[in-house]
Structure 1
């Protein structure tokens, strides 16, 4: 594993690169100790002569395709520096580690194709009328909850009623749900029914949407049911803390929850009644693994695989003999967000504050120019994360526009912008005051986790200091994952800016994080043009790819002009898989499914 001194060296290298760029020298120097991948298992995943990797060199499918043992067991690690929150239901969870547990015992009612569009191969099929607004869903026979009760159209409708309820505690409600006819009236408490949702019979559900469009079949239709026979007598506000979510969760997926050690692990056993067929494994254990111990866990066989491997640790461990590293471009990015308003929970909308500390777009633009994300990607992640430009990411190649001009590292330009905007060092202490000549201290929230978290946060702070901005960590330290997001979501006034990450999912539609009616719009910014473009990008007219691309080109430019947040790094995902694991892939075009994952040996292969 990397030592702390290695990351101090990396930080120094980044700062040296920044100084070189200030002098007009754009040549990148590389560290002598980045290393190269010499493992025969990782075919093609080799660094170039500068020690930089390319995610396109990694395979997405494990090379072991042997026959799975009938009584095999597998241990799956969730890499996190915090415990499981324990919200084990798709309709209520908010933290990614909980999702990694849920995905083993529950699943969406739809399968998706290589372009992430819903197909007819999942637990339900769908038809749409000529208007593109009325969808009829049919749940297949034999799809049963783990307690033997059938999954019904009523269960699917009930999930919508719970998420849309005024007392719902969760982050799912937003523009996708408000697109359902009658949902806004129901959410406002004006009616007890949702007029656009009709249960036709036990297995058939019909939903009428206000607007059709491509986003409906790439995530805009909520694909998760909620067993009404279990939750139906509960108060909606109490569901998230109920035993049915925390202690005895059920789904209709390939494995059933057997036992839970709160915060630490979940043991699951084979669901013999799984609708696709008998799952390959007899038992699956999902456990939290700290970033600081993930290498040891993999080398000793303590886990057979993890959800994602810290890219900052890959170079020193690329030749691990008992695993095969798979990789793909991630549907996620990291970013710097600015707090520009508040969330009005009563009205369900963002309220922009024109007097917020970070309200001046010139200040935000200067902070973007001040950081060298090319250097960060190369020196902290050896090319496995790379400079981000627009807020529609390369994971969506049809819509990502690489030609839009965005701020890239230029401290001279940052200084010029700040000077012209009136941020001057009035008292000669080396830090700029605000435009009224008052002290300007920008409070920065960043998460703990992994070897790079602290030096990366310090790099950003020092980069901003170099252009005269005084930035300090909230509470003087990195924040633990749950605390970080609790405070960001609650619009803690102690936070002015924050470093976050966003998983886009498989739908290019960015409304989930940027719409004015989305509680996940953490910067708390919107304007009329933003909401108009987001609506156009999800409209029936956007079924025309060229039209949708034009809309999203305009939206990407709008976000560059307004900068409620700026992307820092696009990301790759690396998954180390023990050599005994078979039938595992990251490839969305593959026919392999989770229930087919197996092992070909009784014990995990350990590193030599």
Structure 2
């Protein structure tokens, strides 16, 4: 008889989960009803009549000041872009699958034979100082971000795919041959790499005001007043004043290309993660940039807000080290400790991710199946049967693969050659749930006879974790990470043979073929591309270089006085910031406000961090 799931170890595991749940939930009731992403609308319910004007208060949730690099072409951190999005915007609009539509401030025509896209900027689009947004401004953004003196992070594959951009970036050309300004409002980009990704978030569509920046040296632009003190955009609101790192005050842009905004203005202020709930209850803020899902059930009945929800473009995963990174290419190691796919499959069957999502996140994270999350409904293949929790099957797989017990009384299995098998597990510190979740996984694997030990006997600090994972530290056999997948579903930047972010160091000819097909000319046919990426998702379920653990919900609580607010202003055409309105001057206050004393956030606040 194999060592089953009803052992003393399993009892300890279940006790651990119950204790964690009791600790995380104020009422200690492990039987309370769970939440589901299906419970939430993505647009705010409009109750009452909107007034003219009013000011929205937006809470930027952070335990540190925002950096204040307030321009799309130079920012690097999420807090800054949360601010930028209020006063500027992408020239191109998206549908729910993040494909470009013709509803944005620029329309476009695609010429596949010429490998080019021609864009026309709306005649009504002006910078906040009244100057028109021109094709020359758009070209100037490419000239700055692609310049050798530029030291930011915005030079990406999509920019480098423009004809002549690599030569310009390397300093071998003075201009970018693939950019043609046809007239003041029309620009043509020609690509030496023309892929379907270009039409799914792959075009850099953030002009740079040349009349403001042209006299500033490129290396000084990011620190200039034009970025830090007086940022300019063309969005529905414009910056009036900044208290660096703390607040940004904006007023409406009466000249906005889609019409005058309904609000008079927006105030952005930093609020500490410890007081998010209290700030919402008191009406100090009308909405926040992020809300912790593990606090939802305790505050689901907050009387003055409505919760919106959306599926995050992300998944958490367990990765297996299968090789190394050498000279810009993955080098698989057939002798790696985790090279046996049967071992990896058994480890997937051994963990109960659905219960984990319920216990630690009250149902707002749930069992993941493939590496294309359901945030991209046209590409996520829900028909694929991925391994699910089945410890008996995990034991059977390990037995048949030769991972056996040397002696009847042994607690742990040996490898197929009879050698001791110890698997080193790297996981990040941060938040109340980080350590219990890591302990859960180790206990679950112990239940099927695998000796999995926490790397160095402790959780790794954020920077140390990534330094060691990226460097292929030989002491790491498996690790827990998370990916934010971006707008385009192309996974080659994460799992391609030449992708530095391919942390498991997995490569195969079949993987190469499918990734190439997903970017081929044939893949401009959406149905063909869907078939390719369905095959790729199936391949990853079969090969298991990593396995996804949970998908995530994003919750957006919004004060009841607010109209027309969306859980996402990128994904849904009906969510437009210039249409946000309020029904009264002052926010609604909750019936009952919790009194808390603000305490310093513990080091490593996040339970996990996106790797991209």
- For normalisation by structure 1, the TM-score amounts to 0.80
Please state how far the C-alpha of 1:590 moved relative to its aligned partner: 4.5
| Aligned mate of 1:395, from 350, 372, 375 | 375
After superposition, what is the alpha-carbon deviation per residue over 1:535-577, rounded to whole angstroms, capped at 9, x for unaligned? Answer: 3223331233332222112211222233333211112222111
| Aligned mate of 2:55, from 73, 78, 87 | 73
| Aligned mate of 2:315, from 333, 339, 349 | 333
Which residue number corresponds to residue 583 of structure 1? 564
Moved more, 355-364 or 311-320: 355-364
Please state how far the C-alpha of 1:377 moved relative to its aligned partner: 1.7
Which residue number corresponds to residue 581 of structure 2? 598
Moved more, 79-88 or 153-162: 79-88
Q: Does 1:126 align with 2:124?
A: no
Q: Does 1:479 align with 2:461?
A: yes
State how far apart, in whole Å, the 1-side matches of 2:137 and 2:554 are.
Answer: 34
Equivalence map 1:554-569=2 (5 Å): 554-569=535-550
Equivalence map 1:291-330=2 (5 Å): 291-330=273-312
Which residue number corresponds to residue 152 of structure 1? 134
Which residue number corresponds to residue 470 of structure 1? 452
Q: 1:236 to 1:562 in 2, by over 3 A?
A: farther
State how far apart, in whole Å, the 1-side matches of 2:477 and 2:220 are.
Answer: 32
| Aligned mate of 1:552, from 533, 544, 552 | 533
Please state how far the C-alpha of 1:299 moved relative to its aligned partner: 0.9
User: 2:17, 2:359 within 8 Å by CA — same for their partners in 1?
Assistant: no
| Aligned mate of 1:511, from 492, 502, 511 | 492
Which residue number corresponds to residue 5 of structure 2? none
User: 2:47, 2:560 within 8 Å by CA — same for their partners in 1?
Assistant: no
User: 1:154, 1:228 within 8 Å by CA — same for their partners in 2?
Assistant: yes
User: 2:424, 2:475 within 8 Å by CA — same for their partners in 1?
Assistant: no
State how far apart, in whole Å, the 1-side matches of 2:539 and 2:587 are.
Answer: 51
State how far apart, in whole Å, the 2-side matches of 1:585 and 1:393 are.
Answer: 20
Which residue number corresponds to residue 6 of structure 2? none
| Aligned mate of 1:368, from 329, 345, 348 | 348
State how far apart, in whole Å, the 2-side matches of 1:14 and 1:86 are.
Answer: 48
Please state how far the C-alpha of 1:19 moved relative to its aligned partner: 11
Q: Does 1:60 align with 2:58?
A: no
Which residue number corresponds to residue 16 of structure 1? 14
State how far apart, in whole Å, the 1-side matches of 2:76 and 2:379 are.
Answer: 27
User: 1:341, 1:350 within 8 Å by CA — same for their partners in 2?
Assistant: no
| Aligned mate of 1:269, from 234, 251, 272 | 251
Q: 1:33 to 1:350 in 2, by over 3 A?
A: closer
Equivalence map 1:503-542=2 (5 Å): 503-542=484-523
State how far apart, in whole Å, the 2-side matches of 1:483 and 1:86 are.
Answer: 26
State how far apart, in whole Å, the 2-side matches of 1:13 and 1:289 are.
Answer: 41
Please state how far the C-alpha of 1:186 moved relative to its aligned partner: 3.9
| Aligned mate of 2:77, from 67, 75, 95 | 95
User: 2:97, 2:376 within 8 Å by CA — same for their partners in 1?
Assistant: no
Q: 1:461 to 1:253 in 2, by over 3 A?
A: farther
> Is there any run of 5+ residues in structure 1 with no aligned partner, and where?
1-11, 21-29, 37-48
Please state how far the C-alpha of 1:250 moved relative to its aligned partner: 2.9
User: 1:68, 1:280 within 8 Å by CA — same for their partners in 2?
Assistant: no
Q: 1:447 to 1:68 in 2, by over 3 A?
A: farther
| Aligned mate of 1:383, from 325, 346, 363 | 363
Q: Secondary structure of 1:463's match? A: helix
Please state how far the C-alpha of 1:430 moved relative to its aligned partner: 5.4
User: 1:135, 1:208 within 8 Å by CA — same for their partners in 2?
Assistant: yes
Q: 1:101 to 1:234 in 2, by over 3 A?
A: same
State how far apart, in whole Å, the 1-side matches of 2:467 and 2:394 are.
Answer: 32
State how far apart, in whole Å, the 2-side matches of 1:487 and 1:321 are.
Answer: 46
State how far apart, in whole Å, the 1-side matches of 2:223 and 2:413 are.
Answer: 47
Which residue number corresponds to residue 203 of structure 2? 221
Q: 1:279 to 1:376 in 2, by over 3 A?
A: same
After superposition, what is the alpha-carbon deviation per residue over 1:50-71, rounded to whole angstroms, capped at 9, x for unaligned? Answer: 7133322322222225554445
Q: 1:411 to 1:137 in 2, by over 3 A?
A: same
Q: Does 1:453 align with 2:451?
A: no
Q: Secondary structure of 1:530's match? A: helix
State how far apart, in whole Å, the 1-side matches of 2:421 and 2:129 are.
Answer: 62
Which residue number corresponds to residue 406 of structure 1? 386
After superposition, what is the alpha-carbon deviation per residue over 1:53-111, rounded to whole angstroms, capped at 9, x for unaligned? Answer: 33223222222255544452222223445553444333344433332222112210012
Moved more, 153-162 or 411-420: 411-420
Aligned alpha-carbon RMSD (Å): 4.0
| Aligned mate of 2:552, from 568, 571, 574 | 571
> Is there any run of 5+ residues in structure 2 with no aligned partner, and where?
1-9, 592-612
State how far apart, in whole Å, the 2-side matches of 1:328 and 1:232 are.
Answer: 40
Q: Does 1:137 align with 2:116?
A: no
Q: 1:213 to 1:439 in 2, by over 3 A?
A: closer
Q: 1:90 to 1:462 in 2, by over 3 A?
A: farther
Q: 1:33 to 1:86 in 2, by over 3 A?
A: closer
Compare CA radii of gyration and give the structure with the larger one.
Answer: 2
Q: 1:457 to 1:430 in 2, by over 3 A?
A: same
User: 2:423, 2:477 within 8 Å by CA — same for their partners in 1?
Assistant: no
Q: Secondary structure of 1:500's match? A: strand
